[in-house]
Each structure stands twice: as structure tokens, then as C-alpha cells.
A and B are shown apart, each in its own frame.
Chain A
């Protein structure tokens, strides 16, 4: 298996622009998680899905953030409009609850810089 795939790996954008991050989970996994990592706040859970349905979005910082999972093999995290404080590394992770319980498999991350 190719593992969790994220794109783009790096994104540099100007304040006010829309940013879309993409994730392809491991085939067959039923949970998908979006995290944000910064030096100041560490690793924060933003939202997670189960069988394509958003379960908990309490970590989404503001209405500027939205996430979708239209099918089992694709998810997006959108920031509109972006702000400099959104600069961070965004990770997508997936897991299969039935066999591996809570073990999560992480993608390589998208490093977002908002100028």
C-alpha cells in the first residue's frame, strides 16, 4: 500500500487567498483525521470522519476552515480566506478501527505558509 497521500507537500499563498489541501487515506480505512502542527500549539486535531461522515469538528478553529470527504478515498481541508496565523504543517491520518484499534497512519503533511 502507498500509505496516506497528501498534496501539495508545500503551499505558499498570500493572505486572503483560498487554500485547499488534499488527502487520500489508506484503502479500506474507515477513519480519517486532519491535524495541524505548530511549534506553539503542538499537534492539534481539527476534525475527523468515520465512513465519510464528519464526527467531530470541534477542533476546527474558525468558520474559515471547512473539510469534506465526498468518498472513502478522498478528503479536502479548505481555508478561505487564509491568514498568516494559519501557517503550519497540516497532517492527514487514517485508521481502521476494527483491527488496529486506535493506531493511526499519517501522511507526510502539507507545509502551508501564508504571507
Chain B
């Protein structure tokens, strides 16, 4: 199965700064998703980008996808303390209706 690997594992920034997280995967995909997990909570879907899209925006989120490099990035602009969470990329498994999640990036936004 494909697996997304996030980079960096941890990121600490000041409120108002931008945060960029990267994800790499191994095989062809038809979409890639990003999820957020607040401490002690379940994962929440943020955004999905399809393989024929290169960039997608949702509020302060910007996602890019480079299928030639098998990589994606999530940019959070003008970060807030409430953005403190772990962020995961997820890719569909080949031949089955399941997702494989990466190891996640822990983002700490200092007020």
C-alpha cells in the first residue's frame, strides 16, 4: 500500500507566521487528503486534492500536489494558536477503499 511520510516531524512557529508541511508518497494516486488531529481528538478532514489538480485553496489552507515528484505540501497562512495540532496526509490504497495515513507533523503555534 502507499504511504505518506510527512516532513518535518515537528514544527514550532509564532502566531502570524506561515507553516509548511510536506508529504511524500510512493505509488500513483488519484487523490491525496490532509487531516488535522487536535490533542485527544479524532482526525478531521481538511482538504482533498485530486491527481489532476496542482493547487487547491480552502480559507487559510493551500495545498499543492506534484505527481511527478510524488509529493504534496500543506501551507497554513497567518497561523493561530488554535492551529496547534498534528497534521496527516492520507492516500488511497490501491485496490481497496481505504486510506493509508502518514506519520504526521506536530505543529505548535506559539501565541
Interface residues of A (CB under 8 A from B): 4, 31, 33, 42-43, 45, 48, 50, 55-56, 91, 93, 95, 97, 101-109
Contacts and interface: CB of A to CB of B under 8 A. Distances in A.
A104 B45 contact: yes
Nearest to A97: B97
B42 A55 contact: no
A42 B104 contact: yes
29 contacts: A31-B97, A42-B104, A43-B104, A45-B98, A45-B99, A45-B100, A48-B97, A50-B97, A55-B97, A91-B42, A91-B43, A93-B43, A97-B97, A101-B48, A102-B33, A102-B48, A102-B90, A102-B97, A102-B99, A103-B45, A104-B99, A105-B45, A106-B42, A106-B44, A107-B42, A108-B41, A109-B40, A109-B41, A109-B42
A102 B42 contact: no
Nearest to A43: B101
Given A93-B43, A103-B48, 8 more contacts: A42-B103, A45-B100, A55-B96, A55-B97, A106-B42, A106-B43, A108-B41, A109-B41
Q: Is the interface of B mostly helix, strand, loop or mixed?
A: strand
Q: Is the interface of A mostly helix, strand, loop or mixed?
A: strand
Interface string B78-94: 00000000001010100
Contacts of A106: 42-44
